[in-house]
Amino acid sequence: MWVRDRLNGLFVDTDFQDWFPTDGRPGVSAARLALVSVLQFAENLSDRQAALAVRCRIDWKYCLGLELGDPGFDYSVLLEFRDRIAEGDRADQLLAVMVDRLVDAGLINTRGRVRTDSTHVLAAVRTLNRPELVTETLRAAVEELAIASESWLAGMIDAGWGRRYGRAARYDRLPKDKAELAQYVLQVGADGMRLLEAVYQPDAPPRLRDLPQVQVLRRMWIQQYWIDADGTLAWRGPKNTADRQSRRTMPRRSTGTAGADGRPDPATARVPWAGMEIVTPHDVEARYSQKLTAAGQRAWIGYRDQQTGTCDEVGANVIVHVVTQPAPEQDIDALDRIHVGLAAQGLHPVEHFVDAAYVTPATIHRSADQFGIALIGPVRADPHAARHPGFTKADFTIDWATRSVTCPNNVTSPPWKPTSTDGQPAISVLFPRKACRECTDRQTCTGNLAGTCY
């Protein structure tokens, strides 16, 4: 009712004038479809249910400004409208338009409070094991090449290709015996290498190598296969902790790190870690990730979504900014992008409420210094408390005015001194040596079982 009474609708048709062709029969009002999409999401309705609500519910008709006898529209129009929204950054532009209208109507306080939290976004793909993954990748590339140049592809394939890649890869269609499955995976790898070598030959049509699925195939084969010292195609090993450090420094297109004799080292021929590994050819940006939540460990394939909404005591509390990032990226990595995005929209919150995943001394300082925002949230638990005996940082009292710290036994340090740790500014607090040596809680305080006081 606020939207209708104060704004006469969130959107106008001119907001969408570049979304549609200028000729043809007039369609349903794009501004009306956009508002229907908002209401549909708010009530978690299917397309059929949303179209029925437009036709039958008086509250929806009031919000949309429709006559009581308006017949509405066919539900398929909503799907077509969402396809248009998904192009480029139209969704972000639409959100910005909505926020600007709410600000102009006085429903959002530009100097109020906001809150940010993340949620997982599932990719609309099937989870694939590694044999399914390489098979499905090659199948997708073959299908795309068949559409682009059927005559060129005909000289590449035989009856065996039809059996292996003629239909979607599924676990129950793959060999069950371990040795047979290993041989099958190498056969798929050899087929893919043959296809890639043919595509990059000088006599091949140049446009074929730039096809999206061909490029996915190239990247997938770099990640899943490698060439050993004898020039033989080999299947990369699974991830393990032993080669974590070597993989961090290994080039993206490397087939393995060389050993002392200059030959490729099989120990480093592993699939890449989650931030790099393609997990499906149908959504190459989707990644695997996991996160510890209150309900337990959550694992998913897709993306991570940072949603920022107003949380003032009065007025409308609405989402005003959204950042979508790769799933393995941490919440704290998006904080600066959120603050920059809010400023670009003309929103300069005084307080920003977050959970512990966003809070460090550096982010608190940067938010206040660069953006004038007070970052408010719980401080992360001291990691040393779970591993070592002794007091934690929470047991000490900080006096910012005198730049001193008081220990649990009421001994106060001299003013602290600035220092640096790993190139980052830090604070060094030293307590009197005599007081520490005479303290009965010395071992508890330092966690040093030998009793040495530093």
**What pLDDT was estimated at residue 446?**
63
**What pLDDT was estimated at residue 268?**
59
Residue 439: band (very low, low, confident or very high) from pLDDT cuts 50, 70, 90: confident
406, β-bridge pairs: 397, 412
Residue 394: band (very low, low, confident or very high) from pLDDT cuts 50, 70, 90: confident
Residue 252: band (very low, low, confident or very high) from pLDDT cuts 50, 70, 90: very low
Which tens digit of pLDDT belongs to each residue from 273-294? Answer: 878 899 999 999 999 998 877 7
CB environment 233-253: b (16+ within 10 A), e (fewer): bbbbeeeeeebeeebeebeee
pTM assigned to the model: 0.73
pLDDT greater than 90 at residue 11: no
Which tens digit of pLDDT belongs to each residue from 63-92? Answer: 888 899 999 999 999 999 999 988 888 888
Per-residue pLDDT, averaged over 300-312, amounts to 94
Which tens digit of pLDDT belongs to each residue from 415-431? Answer: 999 988 777 778 889 99
The 8-class DSSP code of residue 7 comes to I
Per-residue pLDDT, averaged over 353-359, amounts to 93
Check if the beta carbon of residue 167 is closer than 8 Å to that of residue 156: no
Domain locations in the chain as residue ranges: 2-107, 130-268, 291-376, 386-446
Q: Where are the alpha helices (DSSP H) in 173-252?
A: 178-199, 206-209, 212-224, 244-249
Per-residue pLDDT, averaged over 266-274, amounts to 70
Check if the beta carbon of residue 277 is closer than 8 Å to that of residue 288: yes
268 class by beta-carbon count within 10 Å (0-12 exposed, 13-18 middle, 19+ buried): buried
**What pLDDT was estimated at residue 386?**
58
Check if the beta carbon of residue 120 is closer than 8 Å to that of residue 304: yes
310 — phi, psi (to 5°)? -70, 150
What's the token pair of residue 54? 């437009």
Per-residue pLDDT, averaged over 236-242, amounts to 67
51 class by beta-carbon count within 10 Å (0-12 exposed, 13-18 middle, 19+ buried): buried
What's the token pair of residue 82? 């969402």
266 — phi, psi (to 5°)? -60, -25
Per-range mean pLDDT, top range of 46-50, 378-382, 396-400: 46-50
Residue count (the chain): 454
16 class by beta-carbon count within 10 Å (0-12 exposed, 13-18 middle, 19+ buried): buried
**What pLDDT was estimated at residue 255?**
39
Secondary element (H or E) of residue 40: helix 30-43
**What pLDDT was estimated at residue 282?**
94
**What pLDDT was estimated at residue 107?**
83
**What pLDDT was estimated at residue 242?**
40
Q: Between 264 and 419, whose confidence is greater?
A: 419
